[in-house]
Amino acid sequence: MQVSLPAQPSQLMVVNTWHNDAIGIYVLREANPKGVGLFSFRPMSRRMNFFKDGTSIVKYLSFIALLFASPAWALDYSKIVSPFEEPDSKPNLVRPNMLPDGEVLSLGEDKGEAWLSHPTERYAHGVLGDAIEAGGITYSQGTKSLVLNRLSVFEDRKLRMADLDGDGTTELIVVKSYLDQGAAIAAIGLVDGVPQIIAETDPIGLSNRWLNPVGVADFDGDGKVEVAAVITPHIGGTLKLYGFKEGKFFLKYAQEGFSNHAYGSRELGMSAIGDVNMDGIPELFIPDENRRDIRVVSFKGNAFQQLTRIKGSGPITGPLEFVPGKRPQLTYSLKSNERVTITFTP
C-alpha cells in the first residue's frame, strides 16, 4: 500500500496503534524525508494514527506499523577512500611575541589581525603537543593586548570570530584553561576599545581537562547562535552547545559520545559544520568517541537528532572539511594515509 506523508514530517513523530484493546506507542527518533517506504503494514490492527506536533495528520484503519530503524532512516551517502599524502604543513606566519605553533587570525578588511601571544609554560598539560600555552592575545592595529593573570592560560592554537550577541560587532572565541579548574570557553570583546573577556562558560572543574570547539552557528534554528564544543574529547567526550543571553553563556544541549581531538595532536579541526540536508540549519560532523565513525547530527527545532553515522573510517587524524553543493561532500584523512570523500544524497 502506498502511503504519503507530509513533505516535512516532524522530527519526533508518535504512532499509535490499536490492536484489539492494546495500545502501542512508537517514537520515531529520526525524520524521514522520503516518507513512506520505511513503513511496512500488516492487517492486524484496526487503526493507526500519525501525529505531528501533537496533531493527528494521517489516520489509517486496519493496519499496524512495523518500524524499521536506521540505516533505512538515515541520510544516504557514498564513500570513496583513496591514497593521500599529508601536505607539508603551511609555513607558519610569525608575529611578535606569538605562540610558536599558533595561527594568525585576520579580523577583516582594515581591521588588522589578532594572535595568541605571551607564550608561557605555567600550565604543564601538553594536550596540543607541547606545554607552551598562550598567556595573552595581541592585536596588530592599535588595540591593546589582553594578558591573563598567572592562574590561567589560553590553551588553544587559534582564535575564532563570532557575533555572539548579534549586535554586529565581532567577538573572539578561545579556550581558556585555569591551572586548577581546567578548560572553559571564553568570549573576548572590545569594551571601550580595550579587549576584555566578556563571558566564559564554567570551567570543567579539574586541572588538565580540556575542550575543543567545533564552531559557532545557529544550530537549532531559533535565530541565535550557539557555540559548540566537545568537552574532554580524550576521555569520552560530550558535545555541548552554549547559548548566549544577557552577556552570559548558558548550556543549551549536551550529548555524549564524541571526540574531535587526539591527545598531543596539533590538529584542532577534526569536526565540521555544514547544511547537508539544505533545510537552512547547519548540521555538525563529529567523530565518535573512538574517532572511527563520523556522526552527522542536528539540533534543529531543539531536538537532537543523528542523521547518519558514517561507519568504520578510522582512526581519523586529519581535518574534516565540508563542501556544500547539490551533493554535499565531507572529506577527511586517516592515520593510514588515506583520504575519505563522503558524498551525501540529501
303 part of the interface to Ca ion, by CB under 5 A: no
Q: Which stretch binds Ca ion (CB under 5 A): 123-131, 197-205, 259-267, 270-278?
A: 270-278
Among 101, 103, 130, 218, binds Ca ion (CB under 5 A): 218
Grid cell at residue 238: 560530550
Q: How far is the CB of 137 from Ca ion (least distance, A)?
A: 17
Among 122, 224, 292, 309, binds Ca ion (CB under 5 A): 224
Candidate segments 35-43, 139-147, 177-185, 278-286, binder of Ca ion by CB under 5 A: 278-286
Q: Quick one: DSSP state of residue 108?
A: S
Q: In terms of CB distance, is 91 or 168 closer to Ca ion?
A: 168
- Read off the C-alpha cell for 141: 592595529
Q: How many residues bind Ca ion (CB under 5 A)?
A: 13
Residue 130 within binding range of Ca ion, rule CB under 5 A: no
Does residue 321 interact with Ca ion by CB under 5 A? Answer: no
165 binds Ca ion (CB under 5 A): yes
The candidate with the shortest Cα–Cα distance to 176, out of 168, 185, 167, is 185
Q: Is 163 in the site for Ca ion (CB under 5 A)?
A: yes
CA angle 330, 186, 275 (to 5 degrees): 25
Interface with Ca ion (CB under 5 A), residue from 85, 88, 109, 167: 167
The reply on whether position 267 binds Ca ion by CB under 5 A is no
Nearest residue (CB) to Ca ion, 236 versus 325: 325
Q: Write the DSSP symbol of residue 316.
A: B
Should residue 103 be labelled a site residue for Ca ion when binding is judged by CB under 5 A? Answer: no
Rule CB under 5 A: say whether 30 interacts with Ca ion.
no
d(CA 333, CA 321): 10
Distance CA 238, CA 69 (A): 24
Phi, psi of 38 (to 5 degrees): -90, -5
If we measure between CA atoms, which residue out of 189, 133, 131, 122 comes closest to residue 157?
Answer: 133
CA dist 343 and 310 (Å) reads 11
How far, rounded to the nearest angstrom, does the alpha carbon of residue 29 sit from its chain's CA centroid? 19
Rg (CA), the chain: 23
Please give the Cα distance from 256 to 73 (Å, whole number). 21
Rule CB under 5 A: say whether 301 interacts with Ca ion: no
The region of 12-20, 42-50, 165-173, 176-184 touching Ca ion under the rule CB under 5 A is: 165-173
Q: Does position 279 bind Ca ion by CB under 5 A? A: yes
d(CA 102, CA 129): 12
Measured over the CA atoms of residue 122, residue 162, residue 254 and residue 78, the dihedral's sign is: negative
Asked if 156 touches Ca ion (CB under 5 A), the answer is no
Q: Which stretch, 60-68, 224-232, 306-314, 332-340, contacts Ca ion (CB under 5 A)?
A: 224-232
Among 101, 103, 130, 275, binds Ca ion (CB under 5 A): 275
Q: Which residues bind Ca ion (CB under 5 A)?
A: 163, 165, 167, 169, 218, 220, 222, 224, 275, 277, 279, 281, 283
